Amino acid sequence: MSSLHPLRFEQGRPMLLGGLRQQHGFTESIQSQPAQWRQFHLLLPLPGQQGSSVYGVMCGHDPAHGFEYMCGVEVASLQDLPADMGRMRIASQQYAVFKHSGPLAQLGALWGAICNEWLPHSAYQSAHKPDFEIYDATFDWNAGSGEVEIWISVTNK
């Protein structure tokens, strides 16, 4: 994927996200992440939910144990969420924004290409802040297909 380039660079705004956080192993995530999304959609709308976009947030990863992922929505206040709900503050940050079109089953390959091919050879490095996917209201959850933006937090090298 030598032709991989960001769609644009964006200064992200601060956000409060509420949602469902779960740990996934790398090999099982092909089944466990769709199950997490199905479980999350049953919880909607969340108290104080703002907008119709939903976010898939990479909360952190460990090469030996997998990664933590949060399915979330923007909320007006973290205090209004149920006690068992995941919470996250996203700070203002510079992002490289990529676009995925098609089945979700192919999304992991784009994440891998961004992190393993584009980022090391770009003028940027990870800002070590949450990276996330944005699914807008047009995404077809039943088919598991559509357009998704991937926002990668970056700083200059």
Report pLDDT digits (tens) over 143-155. 989 999 999 999 9
**Between 19 and 3, residue with greater pLDDT:** 19
pLDDT of residue 148: 96
The average pLDDT across 127-135 equals 95
Does 1 score more than 50 pLDDT?
no
The pTM of the whole model exceeds 0.85: yes
Neighbours of 54 (CB within 10 A): 23
**56 close to 139: Cβ distance less than 8 angstroms:** no
pLDDT computed for residue 29 by the predictor: 83
Question: Mean pLDDT, to the nearest integer, of 66-73?
Answer: 94
Provide the 10 A C-beta neighbour count for residue 108: 14
Residue 42 buriedness (CB in 10 A; 0-12 / 13-18 / 19+): exposed
The secondary structure of residue 44, as a DSSP letter, is P
| Chain mean pLDDT for the chain | 93
Across the range 93-108, mean pLDDT stands at 93
List, for residues 18-57, the tens digit of each pLDDT value. 999 999 988 888 789 999 999 999 999 999 999 999 999 9
- State the pLDDT confidence band at 135, using cuts at 50, 70 and 90: very high
Q: How many residues does the chain have?
A: 157
* Residues 24, 33 contacting (CB under 8 angstroms): yes
Range list of β-strands (E), 6-48: 8-12, 15-24
> CB count, 10 Å around CB of 1?
12
Q: What is the pLDDT of residue 3?
A: 72
* Percent of the residues in the chain that have a pLDDT greater than 70, as a whole number: 99
Please calculate the CA angle 44-60-144 and round it to the nearest 5 degrees: 45
pLDDT score for 63: 76
Q: DSSP character for 13? A: P
Gap between the Cα atoms of 107 and 126, Å rounded = 19
Instruction: Please give the pLDDT value at position 6.
Output: 97
